[in-house]
Amino acid sequence: MKLSRLSLIAALLLSISTIANAQATRTWVSGVGDDVNPCSRTAPCKTFAGAISKTARNGIISVIDPGGFGAVTITKSITIDGAPFTAGVLAAGTNGINVNITDFVNDPNATVNIRNLDIEGAATGLVGVNILSAKKVNIENCKIYGFQSGSGNGIKVNTTVANMQLLVKHCTITSVSQQGIAVTGPVNNPVFSHITESQISYCGSSAIDFISNAKGSVNGCDLTQNGSAGVFTETANTDADVAFTVFQNNVIAASALNGSTIRLYNSQLTHNNTSIAGNVVSHGNNAVANNNVNTLPTTIGLQ
């Protein structure tokens, strides 16, 4: 009887502990929160890093009021949404957000949504959003700037995950020391990127660089004042389709080297040092004018 009673008490204590440590589907952060809190609406956490450990897989971290909520590493499917504010992530001397999901057995979709964040490197930051491992990463309505330490990037993908997908929409990326967006994928299983309605400017290197094993579409973007190309495809296993995009005041508007291809549709290439380099093709419906070196793309037929 005594043993049975002790077993019952132990089971009750274990149940209480499990409930206490249960992760919530939705958690909250606030500028006046505390990471010892449960991250509920009435007892919010202080940082994204504090909230993520208390948020269930496929859950959402929301923001109660404006504030700076710190750098964070994401290791499971989750949404971080700063709306209705533009919540701050200050990443001086480090990365703003790391994405590194490796448990594809328990997290087969491995999807991360990053929305309405102001991600600042304060001139010493390394990478705004650094993506190592995931299936899908969606970055929307974000500002990424000031990542100027060493090979600073706005968004960097360097992954071995087959056919990973990246969506960048309604974002501003500016004042980084190297590429605004840099993408490298695994051999024979390229990363697919869709970059739409975004502005990328004042990058020390290219605005968008498909480095290796990467394919992408760029639509409705403004690529200006960049230290290398607006769009750069570097190797034969990279290519890009670019539509309704403005290239201005870049060293090269569009550069497709080493057997890669860039296809242009209804885009404006003006006031760059050089309009195109390499295998850039067009349906003949682009504006290519007023560049210092005004090379025209190869025209291909409409289909």
**Mean pLDDT for each consecutive 10-residue tract of the chain (303 residues)?**
48 41 90 97 98 98 96 98 94 97 98 98 98 98 96 97 98 98 97 98 98 98 98 98 98 98 98 98 95 95 64
- Domains in the chain: ranges and CATH: 58-299 (2.160.20.10)
pTM of the model: 0.92
pLDDT at 85: 86
Q: Give the span between the Cα atoms of 151 and 294, in whole angstroms.
A: 30
Q: Give the span between the Cα atoms of 229 and 254, in whole angstroms.
A: 6
Q: Give the span between the Cα atoms of 228 and 165, in whole angstroms.
A: 25
Q: Output DSSP code: residue 12.
A: H
pLDDT at 17: 39
Q: Give the span between the Cα atoms of 103 and 122, in whole angstroms.
A: 33
pLDDT at 1: 45
Question: How big is the chain by its Cα radius of gyration, in Å?
Answer: 23
What's the distance, CA 282 to chain centroid?
A: 28
Query: Locate tokens 């349906």: which residue?
Result: 283
pLDDT at 303: 58
% of the chain beyond a pLDDT of 90: 89
β-sheet with 55-63: strand ranges across: 24-29, 55-63, 78-81, 111-115, 136-140, 165-169, 191-196, 214-219, 238-243, 261-265, 280-282, 298-299
3-state secondary structure (DSSP) of residue 48 = helix
pLDDT at 302: 64
Q: Give the span between the Cα atoms of 164 and 193, in whole angstroms.
A: 8
SS3 percent helix, strand, coil of the chain, rounded to 5, is 10, 45, 45
pLDDT at 22: 73
Q: Give the span between the Cα atoms of 262 and 288, in whole angstroms.
A: 15
For residues 34, 35, 38 and 43, what is the CA-based torsion angle, rounded to 10 degrees?
Answer: 10
pLDDT at 150: 86
The CB-based long-range contact list for 52-57 (8 Å cut-off, 24+ gap) reads: 52/78, 53/23, 54/23, 54/24, 54/27, 55/23, 55/24, 55/25, 55/26, 55/27, 56/23, 56/24, 56/25, 57/23, 57/106, 57/107
Q: Which two tokens mark 45?
A: 């956490």
Q: Give the span between the Cα atoms of 164 and 166, in whole angstroms.
A: 7
